Structure 1
Amino acid sequence: MAADRKPLRIAIAGLGTVGAGVIDVLQQNAEILAKHCPRPIVVTAVSARDKSKDRGLNLSGVDWVDDAAKLAEHPNVDVVVEVIGGSEGKAKELVEKAIANKKHVVTANKALLAHHGTALALAAERAGVGLAYEAAVAGGIPVIKAMREGLAANRITQVYGILNGTCNYILTQMRETGREFADVLAEAQKLGYAEADPSFDVDGVDAAHKLSILTSVAFGVAVNFAGVRISGIRNVSAMDIAYADELGYRIKLLGIGRQTPHGIEQRVHACMVPAASTIAKVDGVYNAVVTSGNFVGENIAIGRGAGRGPTASAIVADLMDIARGFILPAFSAPAESLEPAAQAPVGLHAGSYYLRLMVVDKPGVVADIAGVMRDENVSLESMIQRGRSPNDPVPLVFTTHETTEAAVGRVVKRLSDIKSVLEPAHVLPIEPLS
């Protein structure tokens, strides 16, 4: 029995918010972990940029390693916890070396997995070690564990969700206050909800990293970040949010992975969802992930998708699995079987759309626009036109019946040739989610 209690020795690369949070969880919840885990989890080595910084942590008896990559060779380490971040550089070097040295890896690095996940999973399998990453997707929400274990008997046909808390906070504040994107973004930066350079968040890249991982786990295919169609929320205006509300919708940035007759569809974009749907009611910094299985039906998980506590909690849960000897293939199916999937052509996506135009208010403009839509076989479901202002641009809002993205693209291109249309049409897909 003594051998069963041999400590699981871990090294932490990165002692920022999350790395320090892992130590907090291990220390503050030591009694809980002792009840549920057959082996003590002990931090034996750490690495960070600044050794002199006071982090409020007790690191007595812990080896400090200046070069994080050397943690992979540390003789007193069984598991490397990587919370450096980034798809290349030191994080990639550390993870590759740790696997090569037959050390388990736990990471919160969605960018690394989105770009190199399949290769890393294959290397981990061949080395006989675990590659665990619950914290990389939706923070403290156990969505990877749910798909790999609880939903393993199902054929998953769709996975989608709110995968970025920064964008969800901004869109929520825009709806509740009527303010424009730039104003709310500046406030989010002051509050610490958005980075000084918010591009990865507001342009949809962060959500796309996470979606590519979810898609791989859900459908048993190779990770394909390059196959995600990405757009963000910079062009969502207070006017669009107000019109969405009037039409019975809310605007959310969603990541959507879906099996279609034409291949797998991966999209990250702002879209309209019915105001009565569950996903529409997930506000603020919260995340939500919905999976659809052929026997279990629809499952939704909601919680905090980032932050010190939730992310550290997910990392420690992965460490507990390793301590129990419970190691699954990283992306649900054995890495040897992860083949690239056929991608559904973007233009074949079918659905309804919202279009907002700014036009010169004069006779015949609506007829001209309707003629373009008729010629492209795009059927109108509704139109909103209010007020008269011969001297100022006025908005025209349309929603369509189901059509294809290619048809809408042709409409938008032709509308730009109409002199009365003053700027490119703003288009949002409408997702009929429950």
Structure 2
Amino acid sequence: MELLHAVAFLPLVVAAIPLLLAFHLTLPLLAEADRALARLAGANAPRALPPGKLWAWLRGRVVQAAFWKQDVPLVLGGTLLSAVGFFVAGIGGILVGVLAVGPFIASPEQPLEVSLRDLVGWSYSATSFGQIWWLEPIALVCLIILLGLLLAIGHLRCRMTAALSRPDEEARLAALAAEVGHLTSGRATLVDAFDAERARIERELHDGAQQRLVAAAMHLGAAELHAGRLAGIGSPAGREAGPVVAPAGVIPSDSSGNPASTGRQAEALAALRADVRSAQEEVEASLRSLRETVHGIRPAILTERGLAPALRDLAGRAPLPTSVTVVGGDDDLAAITSPVATTVYFAVAEALTNAAKYAGPAAQARVEMVVTADGLTVTVGDDGAGGADPLFPGSTGLAGMTQRVESVGGRLLIDSPPGGGTRLTLTAPLIPPWARG
């Protein structure tokens, strides 16, 4: 018998499986229809169905958390509110209809009886409109109440649809966390790449162009020396002093004693020496400029000796009198990482440049750095005119300085009252947040 029952119910089970699957797939569509109706009513119910991807969206939607957190509660809640709305509309509509039509159908042949005998023991029978006209205002009041209830149910449904259509908070937070992670990783990559590029440019300029300019200056100095010797060979004093051995590869001047030839040689040698000397001066000036450029890209003292000696060296190079005070243990100073040290160094350099430019000719600057295991604080102040405003449209330097400090997890505060000097306070960790692992 059990086998016969199983065989008898097998077609029902087979037919129920696709129906259940179809019902499962229709829930997201019903929820999307509720969202569309809510949008027509002015509610903020974002569309979950992407355009042109119905079947792919359905297959993916039913296995996502949003299906159980949004679509199923939305369909169930919408069904419940629809049932409540139909019930209220039906009962209220019948009541309003009876109250509104009753006075018009009352007659001696068919009297209208209003009875509240079960509640208050009161009943009333009317045979004409004039006897029961007061039911019309009651019908109007009931109609207003009915419409208010239906509007409240509709408003509640729109609120529910909007609340259940917002993006999943957990998914949104996870996406934001992932985005923050990507941005942090990208910032770390950019800062590391920028620092490495600084080091590469400094190394190539120091080992390449700078060494070549040094060699060129030495060769020009040697050429000037040789030109001086040639001038001595062609002069009368040189002939009287006896034979002079010319430098290797140099052809001696004419010793025939021809005054015209000797004069032309002397003039040519003098012009040659002047040109060589001028070229040597240009090369030496280029070398000095290159050294300043290399120092501005990445000072060697910052890499070799650390931030504190680099700040003292920077104060010595500053265009206005600058004092430097450093407070901190050797271990804490050694713990300052390269990105932080580079950022702080160039921030102080820019602050001193701004002080020399805007503080006034008699201004003085001071740099104070306090380093602990928790981080460092650098204060750059001057006794100039003040009035620096980082929000001023032309203050791009201060804005850029703030962004560079923030790139290593630091903060820059600017206090510059008019007439009270400028004070920049820079705080930063010893290790950037993105380099802590």
Give the TM-score of the pair, scaled to structure 2: 0.21
The structure with the greater share of residues assigned to strand is 1
User: Of the two, which has the highest radius of gyration?
Assistant: 2
Give the TM-score of the pair, scaled to structure 1: 0.21
Task: Name which structure has the greater RCO, CA cutoff 8 Å, separation 6+.
Answer: 1
